[in-house]
Amino acid sequence: MSDDPQRSEPSPPLSAAAAAEWIRLVENVLRGVAHGLNNRAAALSALVELTSEPPERPSVLREILNAEQQRVRDLVHAVLTIGAPRGEPEALSPADVMADVGIVLEQHPDLRGGELQIDASQGSPLRVPRWAFVRAVIALAAGLAGATRAEARRLDITTEGDWLLIASGDRGPTPSPLATELARYMGGEPLDGRYGIRVPTLAALRRREGR
C-alpha cells in the first residue's frame, strides 16, 4: 500500500451496467467542460482586446481575469475528480468533499444550476476512499435528474446509528447499479424502500476494530 495520496488506485470491479453508467456520466461532464473551456477562451479573447490600449480601470480587468482563472481551475478540478481513482481510505467529513461534488455537477448539463440540493451538514465522519464517496454522491445525484417534485431534487447526508445515509427526501427510484456497487465497495449497501445508500461511520469502524 502506498503512502502517496495522489497515487492512482485500482478501480473497483464494476458490472457492465455500472461501468456504462459511469461512462455516460463522464461523457456528460466532459461535454460541460468543453463548453466551459470554449466560454473561457472567448472571455480571454475579449480581455486581450480590452488590454490592447491602456485601460481606464485596470482593477476591473484584474478582477475579470482572476475570475476567469478560477473558472479554468474549476474545470481542471472537475476533470481530475472524474479521472483515475486516487488515494486509499481516509477519515473525512462528508461536508468537506461537497466542493468536489459541486464542481463536477456544475459541469453536467442535466445537473448544473443548483436545482439539486445536497445537505451534508448532518453527516458524521467516515473512512473511505475520497473518490469512491464523491462518485457515489454524483451517481445518486444523476439519478434525480429530471425529477419534478422538490423532495426528489434533494439529497440529505445524515447519520442514523452506525450508518451514514445519503438519501433523497422522496422514495424515488431504486439506486442505480453504480451507486449500489460503490456503496458495497465502501462497506455499505442500498437503502431498503428509499432512494439512497448507507455507509458505516468512522465511529462504527473504530468500534469494530476495538479502538
Number of domains in the chain: 1
Residue 10 buriedness (CB in 10 A; 0-12 / 13-18 / 19+): exposed
Q: Would the pLDDT of 106 be above 80?
A: yes
Please give the residue that has the higher pLDDT: either 191 or 169.
Answer: 191
Residue-range definition of the domain harbouring residue 21: 16-211
pLDDT of residue 1: 39
Residue 6 lies in a domain: no
Residue 4 lies in a domain: no
Mean pLDDT for the chain overall: 85
Residue 11 lies in a domain: no
By DSSP bridging, strand 196-200 and strand 189-190 are antiparallel
| pLDDT tens digits, 152-177 | 578 999 999 999 999 987 666 789 99
Predicted model pTM: 0.84
Q: Phi-psi region for residue 207, left (φ > 0), alpha (ψ -120 to 50) or beta?
A: alpha
Partnered with residue 126 across adjacent β-strands are: 92
CA dihedral 100, 131, 133, 206 (to 10 degrees): -120
Report the distance separating Cα 48 and Cα 51, nearest Å. 5
Residue 128 lies in a domain: yes
| pLDDT tens digits, 53-96 | 666 666 777 788 888 888 899 999 999 988 888 878 999 999 99
What CATH number does the domain containing 177 carry?
3.30.565
Residue 208 lies in a domain: yes
pLDDT of residue 167: 93
Residue 111 lies in a domain: yes
Inter-axis angle of helices 58-81 and 98-105, to 10 degrees? 100
- Residue 180 contacts by C-beta under 8 Å, 6 or more apart in sequence? 18, 189, 190, 197
Residue 9 lies in a domain: no
The neighbour count for residue 204, using CB atoms within 10 Å, is 19
User: Which residue spans within the chain are E strands per DSSP?
Assistant: 90-92, 117-119, 126-128, 154-160, 163-168, 189-190, 196-200
pLDDT of residue 3: 45
Residue 3 lies in a domain: no
